[in-house]
Amino acid sequence: MFSDSELQLIQYEFSDISSIYLNTAYFGPIPKRTQKIIELATKRAADPSFYSMEEWLSIPDQTRESIATLLGCLPKNIMHSTSTGDIVALIGRSLNRAKNERVALIDEEYPSNVLPWMFLKDKKEITLDILPKTPIVDIEYLEKHLDKKTTILNISYISFKSGRKINLLEIGPYLKRKNITLILDATQAFGSLGISKQELSYVDAFVCSTYKWLLSPYGHSFAYLSDDFLTHLESEKISWINSDSFVNCQELTKYSTKLITGAVRFDRGQSPNMLNMRGVLSSITLLSELGLDKIESYNKSLVNHFCDKFDSKNFSLEVPREFLANIISLKSKSGDLKNVIEKLNQNNIDVSVREGSLRISLHFFNTVKQVDKILEILEIL
């Protein structure tokens, strides 16, 4: 658990939040330090006098290093992009065309993991299976529903809709045995929890948008691409920053279409997006200082507190509590959430409704008192 000084720091960093904000699965609030860094970056953009190349070109690599440290991998395996959907689409387009890919998804997956594959299916470039929705993804489920010819499973680590967390230690070895590539969308997980070396060893592509649980400004995502997976990806475009001929601005016309090596070759154009990326880097320093282990156990303790006390005639949990980590989704027995949201908003509580369920997100700046408050409102409805 957090020390007194850490609790004070957290209180300070998020002192601009004016509501009982239980909505990180929608937007993570940026901490104070990140606001300040973005202000400084804006000032620098307003006065670019004597802007050395190192000053701005080094930002993607600094951010790559901080992400790699948080994730427990090498920087060369990290690429920068703008969104999860862009990365999934990029992976889809970069796969070896000669291989007849058969991609599996589970129904109710976030669209960024669905639409790029549907698009390729419409163009008859892949085969796509959408497996039936389920509260639990285990080997029994996969054994029953995965087609024998499946080559890729694209799944969220934590579901945006139900809060269901998958057990990588269980399904990872199973997928490896079956030679199925695992594309894991960690957008609703990473930052609220970390990933162990062993868990990461089962993942071929770990994709994450940083504006939620990593508390960063909107407009950045990254992926970890394993060494083995990288050998299966063929780049389908080049930007000048990713060309191996790029050394400095004195030699820009020594053109070469040879790409630099590692995941970095997939970096988006203008990857040194200074206003945004300085913010990402700053938020990651806060998470690193606090430690993802501590954050994970704190968030889980809030979820446990909610589940221990939750006893409502009007709502039920979407998935069993042992599969929850940071998001609690409640199904309304009456089906109507309009009044519920109104009541919560009147009490200054900010949550989301997704696909007919009430979604409550709990991150480390939330408190037991806030959980008690929402429980109190839900009880009296």
Nearer to ligand PLP, 284 or 375 (CB): 284
- 271 three-state secondary structure: coil
Residue 98 tokens read as 């000669």
Annotate each residue in 321-360 with x if it binds ligand PLP (CB under 6 A) or - if it does not, as one string. Answer: ----------------------------------------
Q: Going by C-beta distance under 8 Å and a sequence separation of 6 or more, which residues neighbour residue 271?
A: 60, 80, 241, 277
- Closest approach, Cβ 190 to ligand PLP, in A, equals 11
Of all helices (H) and strands (E), which one includes residue 153?
Answer: strand 152-156
Annotate each residue in 247-286 with x if it binds ligand PLP (CB under 6 A) or - if it does not, as one string. Answer: ----------------------------------------
* Binds ligand PLP by CB under 6 A, chosen from 29, 60, 85, 194: 85
DSSP code at position 203:
-
- Pick the stretch among 46-54, 81-89, 247-255, 256-264 that binds ligand PLP (CB under 6 A): 81-89
**Residues of span 177-216 touching ligand PLP by CB under 6 A:** 185, 187-188, 209
Residue 24 tokens read as 């990180």
- Closest approach, Cβ 159 to ligand PLP, in A, equals 7
- Pick the stretch among 79-87, 295-303, 314-322, 364-372 that binds ligand PLP (CB under 6 A): 79-87
Q: Going by C-beta distance under 8 Å and a sequence separation of 6 or more, which residues neighbour residue 42?
A: 275
- 35 three-state secondary structure: helix
31 interacts with ligand PLP by CB under 6 A: no
- Closest approach, Cβ 100 to ligand PLP, in A, equals 26
156 interacts with ligand PLP by CB under 6 A: yes
Residues 240 and 278 sit within 8 Å (Cβ to Cβ):
no
Q: Name the strands in the sheet holding 315-317, side by side, starting at the edge strand that comes first in the sequence.
A: 315-317, 327-332, 357-361, 352-354
84 interacts with ligand PLP by CB under 6 A: yes
- Closest approach, Cβ 36 to ligand PLP, in A, equals 25
* Binds ligand PLP by CB under 6 A, chosen from 112, 271, 332, 361: 112
Cα dihedral 160/305/191/183 (nearest 10)? -40
Distances (CA, A) of 91 to 76, 234, 236, 243, 379: 17, 9, 10, 19, 46
Nearer to ligand PLP, 83 or 243 (CB): 83
Distances (CA, A) of 69 to 76, 104, 169, 214, 223: 12, 31, 21, 14, 14
Nearer to ligand PLP, 56 or 60 (CB): 60
Question: Which residues of this protein are in contact with ligand PLP, per CB under 6 A?
Answer: 83-85, 110, 112, 156, 160, 185, 187-188, 209, 221
